[in-house]
Amino acid sequence: MLSPREKQVVDLLLSGKSNKQIALSLGVSERTVEFHLKNIYFKMQVASRVELILKLGRQTGGIPDTLGESTVVFEDEKNDNDSHAAQMRAAESWRNLISLIRKEAVMTIKISFEDMENYLRNHIIVFSLLALSFTGLMLRFILFELGLYFWGSYLLLEILLVFGSIRFGELLKHNKPFHPLLIILIAASTPIVAWGFDQVYLLVILPYMGSASISIPAIHATAEWLTSAEGLPCLSTSLNITSDTPWLITIAEMLIVFFLSRTFGKHSGGKLVTA
């Protein structure tokens, strides 16, 4: 049998509140809430919040007044109930159960992301390696798979990567508040901006220019608009890459700029991403 306080904790848990929110609602500490939950788990013979929700969802009786007591409805009582009303109650019970499980899943995911961000804030080397790795992989995909065909796109890519490395170094140097996962996402998305600019050039400007080509060490790319046999315009591209040298040089450049900014960068006054 659950105590009145334990019933209050269960009611708040079933409404989707976290331990901290339950503690605030009851005017107690989180440690006290955890203590009550352990007792509830033991009495209800479950091992987690999800198991508790599932067990309560399978019961057909009322939770607030009879929680902890048997809520099994005997067969003769079932026969006295209206079948339609019973189906409605069962459907409502399942809807409530699904809603509670969804809230619990959302809360678990949120807590997991918060724990991951806290870990990355406290392990700057791991955070920096992840940001560099994701950016490098996206850069390789843009250069070697999709391709850039306008010299302005390479220039824009260079500016974005240098600027991003400088800002990243300053961010870590001055211990500014930041969201690690958001920074990694922004860093990895940087090459996509240059690719989008390149696509705009190819589709909007190049039809009036005829063709474009660029040759840098180990990369030769050409693009031109042709007329098909049916008289329709079509874009023809050619990308020839002989080695990984441009990609490796770019990665090295990002590292050098980052370390220089981390070591000698000055406070710029603004915050890249605030918490």
End position of a domain, from candidates 117, 134, 169: 117
Tens digit of each residue's pLDDT, the chain (275 residues): 778 888 888 888 888 888 888 888 888 778 888 888 888 888 888 888 888 878 776 664 444 444 444 444 445 555 555 566 667 777 777 877 787 777 777 777 877 888 888 888 888 889 989 999 999 999 999 999 999 999 999 999 999 999 999 988 888 877 667 788 899 999 999 999 999 999 999 999 998 887 888 988 889 999 999 887 788 888 899 999 998 888 999 999 999 998 888 887 654 443 433 33
Q: Which of 72, 97, 117 is the last residue of a domain?
A: 117
Expressed as residue numbers, the domain containing 206 is 123-264
Question: Does residue 203 share a domain with residue 227?
Answer: yes
Same domain as 256, residue 147: yes
Same domain? For 164 and 40 the reply is no
Residue pair 197/213 in contact (Cβ under 8 Å)? The answer is no
